[in-house]
């Protein structure tokens, strides 16, 4: 039987506010335990929550970014349960009426675009941390994190492979950073995913029983966990077993998922509206105010890139993967166009923009990305600025150097040796375009390669290329290849 | 001195006829004599109080005194006060010292009032007789075999026995008004949101409201001027302009339309209490008020609704007392769950446990719609009853409590009969309206003892100034509020 996996995600994004969602305590990561736990964080008798307006703004930003309904009235509810790192004995969350309603989100999987539906996103507070390792026979409680604002983003079960789920998570991860609501630091737990996985016979429209993989904090683990879980569920069903709804954890050491100890009874959280907080009212005005502060969103920018620079969907998607990447690309293209570069080769491209765009995209996704990957760096840490790179591309376009020499100059720029022009000068890499000088080299090569000349005359195309190569080599790569071709052809005809 | 008004006490202090330290010592002398029997206070700290009194004297000397500067005020032990033991009447918090000041405490401190001590109360404010306090019952100064009412029973007894100049209380279902009625003084529960709940230990958050307990409406007006005001630390606090509650005190009452809800004079009201209330109403007629019969048809639903909503909120509010960070923790336990269970089993009394159980039940999956949600709907109907009524009248009057003070132990094992004590007061909390009780005379019980009876005055939202005016006018022509129990002098 052919199986289909069905995946939905719940992502906890820690919002980048200075203070906690219901108190003035700092949210900075890494402080000594319990030094950022004010009277509200530790739930002293008599304290009350006061909603942080910045957290609401973050939720509105997200709602706008995924084209979602933003509730004019949403309600904070108490989720009641006992745990030592939950100081009030309840978590303030949103239950029946979340701040962000239905929305949608387009992801790129290979060459394909896919729409993932967002079910809802709601504001809530994080719990503290239980430290099990540090005290013999006891558990330590650190309430620094208690009350940190979270936006929990829930999708419909729209993904059909681990690759799609990871593509969604990555895209979401970029988006929340793009709109400035989350620092995206997965190591510190700022972006944590719970993945619901079920399988069903292909073609069936009934959902299988799902198991929830909790707290995945890397895309690699997410991929592995979903793949393992999918295999396990299919094998279990094929062996005649049944899947029971469960919460599972992924063990990166074994690469396996395992069900958490199942509780004898399901938790009844006894949700009810928190009487300490008024319903959250959001007006059209509030929304337009936030809208005005929102940067151009990646989806809009992607479309614009496709139109303005005649880029493929794939290229445009890659170039809008992060704001730093998009900024780099935009700066590079602007710089190229400013120098009038596009007009030189416009016959090959419909517009100057298309030429500049393609050139910039090729370099960014080619040499720059390769180098960054090699050194495990982000585009924001790229040692060659857009301006510097533009200097190099200009010299390729105006035939000062060949593409081959460009590589050498690029490496030198990467190593911090300066701007393209000064490197070309210093190393004497300027392309030879003087016909006389090239002819002299050609004559010399023809004289010393009689056998190859004979082959060319016998009609062997390959030998011609060999001669070009010899000329280039003799010129140390500096001869203009087009001119070399032309002169060689003339001499051999 | 002990029967002087706050205004008179303030004048004495500012004229330097007496210092705040002397005045405070005077009250401590009385407390030393009376409190061992009455048990109105849980915590007294003379050093702290006298230090505040000395600071008040310095302030008076500098000419920077406000009306309450130097006056000793008793604080219900529900308000967290920095450096003060704050127990909320519970074993759970018997070892808890406040690390910060409640909004109400801050305001009295800023006014220069002296915190005379923390008063006894029903555990977590759950009770109508003060008998659920971990620190023992409080005796009604009018008859020490009787209860003072609750939950603000300690503050009530302290005001009635003149063991403070005035006191604070909190009222979730009648906890200021019912003890004021049973102990023969004036108590006011303001409109929900007028007084900050920050630092007031929560019982039922959507109903809890702090207010003054004092010898007269004029005193309460002065207290209200200190207590009310926006507090950004309480999201349910109302951001509105500050009022001076003394301004309207002397307005004439002619033309005042008083609504008398027929449901408040029906079955269940003790005849002798009803008679006193009718006499008070007659007095108001003489003052020029016009009586209108009104109906609050959902009155009988207020108690069931309250006993769904208040326990629901309480069950969640009291979850923080888990023995992990502060408060009582069992000495021995086998694991986390055992620690929770034992700490809470030992730390909470029966009434608190009863309400946690009720609250947990009504919020549980499968019962939520039938109980909690239904109760919220009826709560709206009850509020609508008042909205309709206030179209016909300016103010509502009736009894505060169905009977006079009952004997200690009489209702302790009969929770439903105890809950019925609040039949006339609870709807006011559910609607968020202001309610007040003022002394209206005495009713003689079966044993021949004359016991105080309170008249309840219910106002529209933010109509406290008018209510105080209505009470003050009555207190200008009657002397019930100046009467003191025997044996306290």
CB B396 within 8 A of CB B347: no
Q: Considering only the beta carbons, identify the residue of A78, A82, A277 that sits closest to B235.
A: A277
List beta partners, residue A322: none
> Using CA atoms, how far apart are residues B311 and A461, in angstroms rounded to an integer?
93
Asked if B198 has any chain A CB less than 8 Å from its own CB, the reply is: yes
> Using CA atoms, how far apart are residues B236 and B206, in angstroms rounded to an integer?
9
Statement: residue A481 has pLDDT above 90 = no
Q: What is the pTM of this model?
A: 0.90
Q: B279-311: per-residue pLDDT in tens?
A: 999 999 999 999 999 999 999 999 999 999 999
Cross-chain Cβ contact B232/A50 below 8 Å: yes
CB A15 within 8 A of CB A53: no
Residues of A with a Cβ under 8 Å from any B Cβ are 39, 42-51, 78, 80, 82, 84, 87-90, 141, 268, 270-272, 275-278
Cross-chain Cβ contact B235/A50 below 8 Å: yes
Angstrom distances, CA of residue A445 to CA of A432, A440, A462, A471: 16, 9, 16, 6
Statement: residue B439 has pLDDT above 80 = yes
B151's CB contacts (< 8 A; 6+ apart) are B89, B121, B122, B125, B126, B127, B128, B130, B170, B172, B175, B179
Statement: residue A396 has pLDDT above 90 = no
> Using CA atoms, how far apart are residues A152 and A141, in angstroms rounded to an integer?
24
Cross-chain Cβ contact B325/A43 below 8 Å: yes
Q: A320-344: per-residue pLDDT in tens?
A: 988 999 999 999 999 988 887 755 5
Q: B9-31: per-residue pLDDT in tens?
A: 999 999 999 999 999 999 999 99
B7 is catalytic: no
Contacts of A55 in chain B (CB under 8 A): none
> Using CA atoms, how far apart are residues A326 and A303, in angstroms rounded to an integer?
13
pLDDT band at residue A214 using 50, 70 and 90 as cut-offs: very high
pLDDT band at residue A262 using 50, 70 and 90 as cut-offs: low
Q: Considering only the beta carbons, identify the residue of B79, B99, B235 that sits closest to A44.
A: B99
Q: Which of B128, B151, B302, B315 is catalytic?
A: B151
A443's CB contacts (< 8 A; 6+ apart) are A491
Cross-chain Cβ contact B201/A46 below 8 Å: yes
- pLDDT, residue A37, reads 94
Query: Hunting for tokens 């009586």 — which residue is that?
Result: B291
Statement: residue A289 has pLDDT above 50 = yes
> Using CA atoms, how far apart are residues A278 and A273, in angstroms rounded to an integer?
9
Cross-chain Cβ contact B324/A45 below 8 Å: no
Cross-chain Cβ contact A48/B364 below 8 Å: no
User: What average pLDDT does chain A have?
Assistant: 91
pLDDT band at residue A458 using 50, 70 and 90 as cut-offs: confident
Q: Three-class SS of residue B2?
A: coil
Mean pLDDT of A77-83: 96
> What tokens appear for A305 in the block?
């890139």
How many other C-beta atoms lie within 10 A of the C-beta of residue A447? 9
Nearest to B467 by CA among B226, B97, B217, B229: B217
How many other C-beta atoms lie within 10 A of the C-beta of residue A100? 29
Cross-chain Cβ contact A50/B205 below 8 Å: no
CB B178 within 8 A of CB B422: yes
Q: Considering only the beta carbons, identify the residue of B320, B336, B360 that sits closest to A270.
A: B360
Q: A357-390: per-residue pLDDT in tens?
A: 988 999 999 999 999 999 999 898 999 999 999 9
Q: Three-class SS of residue A463?
A: helix
List beta partners, residue A8: A196
Angstrom distances, CA of residue A362 to CA of A298, A391, A420, B35, B344: 20, 16, 18, 88, 67
- pLDDT, residue A344, reads 52
Of A304-318, B89-103, B235-249, the range with the lowest mean pLDDT is: A304-318
- pLDDT, residue A342, reads 58
Mean pLDDT of A254-283: 86
Angle B67-B73-B77 (CA atoms, 0-180°, nearest 5)? Answer: 140
Q: B358-415: per-residue pLDDT in tens?
A: 999 999 999 999 999 999 999 999 999 999 999 999 999 999 999 999 999 998 888 8
> Using CA atoms, how far apart are residues B432 and B424, in angstroms rounded to an integer?
14
Q: Tally C-beta pairs within 8 A across A and B.
A: 92
Asked if B99 has any chain A CB less than 8 Å from its own CB, the reply is: yes
Cross-chain Cβ contact A45/B100 below 8 Å: no
The DSSP secondary structure of B381-441, one letter per residue, reads HHHHHHHHHTTT-SEEEEESSSSSPPBTTSSTT-HHHHHGGGTTTHHHHHHT--EEEEEEE
Q: B246-280: per-residue pLDDT in tens?
A: 999 999 999 999 999 999 999 889 999 999 999 99
> What tokens appear for B342 in the block?
């034992």
Contacts of B103 in chain A (CB under 8 A): none
pLDDT band at residue B239 using 50, 70 and 90 as cut-offs: very high
CB B314 within 8 A of CB B125: no
Statement: residue A433 has pLDDT above 90 = no
Q: Which of B175, B181, B216, B237 is catalytic?
A: B175
Give the strands of the sheet with A76-80, arranged side by side. Answer: A90-94, A76-80, A272-273
B262 is catalytic: no
Angstrom distances, CA of residue A322 to CA of A43, A172, B54: 39, 11, 65
> Which of B197, B210, B235, B313 is the mutation pick for testing A, counting most A CBs within 10 A?
B235
Beta strand extents in A110-201 (DSSP E only): 112-125, 129-135, 138-142, 149-155, 191-201
> What tokens appear for B364 in the block?
């549980």
Chain A nearest-CA distance from B360, in A, is: 8
Q: What ipTM was estimated for this complex?
A: 0.96
């Amino acid at each position: 039987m052919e199986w289909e996996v069905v995946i939905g995600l719940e992502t906890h994004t820690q919002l980048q506010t200075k203070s906690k969602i219901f108190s003035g305590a700092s949210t900075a990561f890494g402080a000594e335990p319990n030094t950022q736990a004010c009277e509200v964080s530790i739930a002293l008798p008599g304290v009350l929550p006061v909603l942080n307006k910045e957290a609401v703004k973050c939720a509105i930003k997200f709602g706008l970014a995924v084209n979602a309904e933003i509730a004019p009235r949403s309600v904070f509810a108490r989720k009641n349960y006992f745990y030592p790192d939950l100081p009030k004995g309840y978590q303030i969350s949103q239950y029946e009426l979340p701040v962000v309603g239905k929305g949608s989100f387009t992801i790129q999987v290979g060459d394909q675009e896919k729409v993932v539906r967002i079910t809802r996103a709601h504001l809530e507070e994080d719990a503290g941390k239980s430290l099990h390792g540090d005290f013999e026979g006891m558990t330590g409680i650190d309430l620094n994190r208690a009350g940190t604002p979270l936006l929990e983003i829930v999708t419909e079960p729209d993904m059909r492979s681990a690759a799609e789920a990871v593509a969604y998570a990555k895209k979401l991860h970029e988006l929340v950073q793009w709109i400035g609501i989350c620092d995206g630091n997965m190591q510190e737990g700022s972006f944590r995913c719970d993945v619901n996985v079920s399988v069903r016979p292909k073609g069936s429209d009934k959902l299988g029983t799902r198991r929830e993989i909790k707290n995945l904090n890397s895309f690699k683990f997410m991929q592995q966990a979903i793949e393992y879980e999918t295999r396990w569920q299919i094998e279990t069903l094929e062996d005649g077993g049944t899947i029971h709804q469960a919460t599972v954890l992924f063990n990166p050491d074994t690469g396996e998922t395992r069900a958490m100890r199942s509780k004898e009874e399901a938790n009844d959280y006894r949700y009810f509206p928190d009487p300490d907080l008024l319903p959250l009212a959001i007006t059209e005005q509030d929304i337009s105010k936030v809208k005005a502060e929102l940067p151009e969103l990646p989806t809009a920018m992607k479309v614009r890139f496709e139109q303005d620079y005649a880029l493929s969907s794939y290229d445009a998607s890659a170039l809008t993967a992060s704001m730093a990447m998009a900024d780099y690309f935009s700066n590079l293209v602007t710089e190229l166009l400013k120098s009038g570069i596009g007009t030189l080769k416009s016959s090959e491209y419909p517009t100057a923009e298309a030429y500049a765009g393609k050139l910039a995209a090729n370099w960014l996704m080619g040499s720059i990305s390769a180098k960054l990957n090699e050194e495990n760096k982000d585009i924001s840490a790229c040692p060659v600025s857009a301006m510097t790179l533009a200097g190099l591309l200009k010299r390729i376009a105006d035939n000062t150097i060949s593409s081959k020499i460009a590589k050498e100059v690029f490496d030198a720029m990467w190593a911090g040796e300066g701007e393209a022009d000064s490197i070309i000068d210093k190393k004497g890499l300027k392309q030879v375009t003087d016909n006389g000088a090239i002819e002299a080299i050609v004559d010399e090569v023809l004289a010393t390669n009689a056998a190859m000349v004979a082959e060319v005359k016998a009609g062997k195309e390959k030998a011609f290329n060999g001669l070009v190569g010899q000329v280039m080599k003799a010129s140390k790569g500096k001869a203009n290849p087009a001119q070399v071709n032309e002169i060689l052809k003339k001499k051999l005809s | 001195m002990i029967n002087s008004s706050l205004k008179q006490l303030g004048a004495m202090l500012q004229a330097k006829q007496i210092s705040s330290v002397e005045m405070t010592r005077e009250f401590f002398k009385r407390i030393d004599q009376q409190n061992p029997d009455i048990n109105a206070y849980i915590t007294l700290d003379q050093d702290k109080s006298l230090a505040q009194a000395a600071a008040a004297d310095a302030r008076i000397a500098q000419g920077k005194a406000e009306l309450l500067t130097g006056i000793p005020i008793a604080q219900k032990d529900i308000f967290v006060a920095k450096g003060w033991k704050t127990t909320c009447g519970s074993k759970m918090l018997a070892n808890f010292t406040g690390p910060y000041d409640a909004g109400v405490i801050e305001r009295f401190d800023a006014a220069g009032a002296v915190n005379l001590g923390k008063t006894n109360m029903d555990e977590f404010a759950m009770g109508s007789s003060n008998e659920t306090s971990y620190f023992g019952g409080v005796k009604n100064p009018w008859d020490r075999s009787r209860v003072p009412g609750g939950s603000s029973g300690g503050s009530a007894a302290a005001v009635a026995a003149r063991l403070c100049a005035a006191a604070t209380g909190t009222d979730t279902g009648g906890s200021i008004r019912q003890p004021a009625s049973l102990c023969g003084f004036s108590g006011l529960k303001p409109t929900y949101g007028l007084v900050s709940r920050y630092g007031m230990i929560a019982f039922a958050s959507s109903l809890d409201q702090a207010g003054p307990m004092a010898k007269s409406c004029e005193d309460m007006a002065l207290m209200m001027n200190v207590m009310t005001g926006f507090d950004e630390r309480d999201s349910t606090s109302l951001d509105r302009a500050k009022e001076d509650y003394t301004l309207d005190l002397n307005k004439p009452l002619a033309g005042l339309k008083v609504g008398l809800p027929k449901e408040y004079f029906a079955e269940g009201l003790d005849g002798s209490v009803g008679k006193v209330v009718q006499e008070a109403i007659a007095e108001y007629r003489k003052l020029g008020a016009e009586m209108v019969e009104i109906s609050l048809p959902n009155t009988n639903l207020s108690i069931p609704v309250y006993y769904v909503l208040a326990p629901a909120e309480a069950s969640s509010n009291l979850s923080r007392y888990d023995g992990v960070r502060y408060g009582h923790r069992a000495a021995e336990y086998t694991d986390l769950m055992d620690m929770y269970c034992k700490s809470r089993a030992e730390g909470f009394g029966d009434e608190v446990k009863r309400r946690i159980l009720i609250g947990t039940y009504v919020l549980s999956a499968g019962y939520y719609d039938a109980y909690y949600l239904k109760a919220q709907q009826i709560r709206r109907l009850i509020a609508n009853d008042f909205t309709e009524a206030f179209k016909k009248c300016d103010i509502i009057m009736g009894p505060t409590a169905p009977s006079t003070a009952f004997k200690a132990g009489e209702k302790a094992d009969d929770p439903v009969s105890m809950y019925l004590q609040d039949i006339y007061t609870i709807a006011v909390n559910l609607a968020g309206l202001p309610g007040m009780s003022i002394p209206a005379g005495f009713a003689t019980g079966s044993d021949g003892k004359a016991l105080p009876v309170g008249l309840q005055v219910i106002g529209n939202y933010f109509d406290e100034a008018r209510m105080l005016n209505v009470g003050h006018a009555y207190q200008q022509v009657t002397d019930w509020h100046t009467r003191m129990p025997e044996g306290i002098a």
